[in-house]
Amino acid sequence: MPIETTRFDAAEYLDTPEAQAMLLSDAFETGDAAYIKHAIGIVARARGIKDTAEAAGITREALHRALGEKGNPRLSTILGVTKALGLTLKVEARP
Q: What is the pLDDT of residues 25-59, one digit of tens each?
A: 999 999 999 999 999 999 999 999 999 999 999 99
Rounded to whole angstroms, the Cα distance separating 72 from 52 reads 18
Q: What is the pLDDT of residues 1-32, one digit of tens each?
A: 899 999 999 999 999 999 999 999 999 999 99
Cβ partners under 8 Å of residue 90, min gap 6: none
Phi, then psi, of 86 in degrees rounded to 5? 75, 25
User: Please, which residues have CB within 8 angstroms of residue 52's CB and are 6 or more apart in sequence?
Assistant: 44, 63, 81, 84, 85
Residue 89: predicted pLDDT? 83
DSSP state of 3: P
Distance of alpha carbon 35 from the chain centroid: 9
